[in-house]
Amino acid sequence: MLGSLKTYLQDPLLKKMYDDIRSVGPVKSISLDLTHRCNLRCKGCYYFEEGMDRHRSPEDERLFDAFLNREAERGTNFITIVGGEPSLEIGRIRKIYARFKLSIATNGLKKIPVDGLENIPIGVAVWGSRETDRFLRGNDKIDIFEKALDNYKNDTRAFWYYTVAPGLSEEIPEVVKTCIDNGNRVLFNYYSDQAGLGGKFDYRSGFEKVRAQIDRMIELYPGQIFMTPYFNKIISTGQLFDMKWGYEVCTNISTNLPSNAARMDNGYPYNPHFRAYHADFETVRRCCTGETRDCASCFDTWEHFSWIMVHLRKHLSTKEDFTNWLSTMYLFYTINRLVDTEEGMSQLQSLLSRQQPISSE
């Protein structure tokens, strides 16, 4: 198997991209709820649906500093900052930025300042067209999308983290055009209806149309969409080779939690360093996106990145499989600024232009 890796790396582009990611070194990541507070109450937010705000973030700065020290000592070098709403805690973001690589998810209402935070990857949420987004996130009153567009206009740190509901694929072209015209790239996520709205929001109706529309966007806006057809297929189908997505194969589980021990013993790989910390900066939960959540509802993009990334060996049977693995890895490194974003997107484009379209059958 590793012999085939050697063969594939005789291709100069594959070798360059592989060397780029290997030169970054091992990524030892955790996820952190930076605060339990939020200035919104979106319909279907996993955080509040499971009442995770009961884990309060301490006022005492020394407890936060002690947490960062513990994680640095443990070897953590990458923190995914979620919440609650991270932009309510700029001082603590600055502290993380000074010591770790990081990525932030924000609702976009309050701008994360540029000064002193110049190289942060910021995923700004949008959940659909103006109307849909206002319904799901703005309590039918606030146009959060508009405020976020204004806050992050031509801000190269920011990309849109566009969560699409299964029955709203027809909104995708207009939303994507708006985001790109604003000077930002777009990463997709798949709405899982934690609020039980049903109908067009119901994940059980499947993401085939969303998948097709995302593939169209990748073609229409080369270099502007942080997705590949392969990655889009894996998330929307939940199938990776002989594995079906779910807890038994999920890689981002807190590895210090006894209740995850059986999962860690089942033979499927996982991230041995990973922990998903609550906002109390001490306790952890089962995984990034839930404590008891039904995994059938989980289409989280970041978790699927990790799923593909840990499975290099499964992607060594053919050069095409390896290219799919490498493009997924490289996309993750590019979005998170672990490699230069512009150069990264340009190399990804070169790689994608050589591939045959992936069938949606």
Site size toward ligand SF4 (CB under 6 A) is 26
287 binding ligand SF4? (CB under 6 A) = yes
163 three-state secondary structure: strand
290 binding ligand SF4? (CB under 6 A) = yes
* CB nearer to ligand SF4: pick between 166 and 290: 290
Cβ 334 vs Cβ 348: under 8 Å: yes
Cβ 40 vs Cβ 137: under 8 Å: yes
* CB nearer to ligand SF4: pick between 48 and 159: 48
Cβ 255 vs Cβ 274: under 8 Å: yes
How crowded is the C-beta side of 92, counted as CA atoms within 13 Å? 28
344 binding ligand SF4? (CB under 6 A) = no
Q: Are strands 101-106 and 185-190 parallel, antiparallel or unpaired?
A: unpaired
In the complex, what is the shortest distance from the CB of residue 38 to ligand SF4, in angstroms, rounded to a whole number? 3
* CB nearer to ligand SF4: pick between 110 and 337: 110
284 binding ligand SF4? (CB under 6 A) = no
Interface residue with ligand SF4 among 52, 227, 250, 339 (CB under 6 A) is: 250
Question: Hey, which residues between 150 and 169 contact ligand SF4 (CB under 6 A)?
Answer: none
Task: Give the contact letters, 30-59, x = binds to ligand SF4 (CB under 6 A), - = no.
Answer: --------x-xxx--x-xx-----------
In the complex, what is the shortest distance from the CB of residue 334 to ligand SF4, in angstroms, rounded to a whole number? 22
Cβ 111 vs Cβ 153: under 8 Å: no
Helices (H), the chain: 2-8, 12-24, 46-49, 61-74, 90-99, 130-137, 144-151, 172-181, 208-220, 229-237, 261-264, 301-309, 319-335, 341-353
Task: Give the contact letters, 92-131, x = binds to ligand SF4 (CB under 6 A), - = no.
Answer: ---------------x------------------------
How crowded is the C-beta side of 306, counted as CA atoms within 13 Å? 27
Task: Give the contact letters, 54-83, x = binds to ligand SF4 (CB under 6 A), - = no.
Answer: -----------------------------x
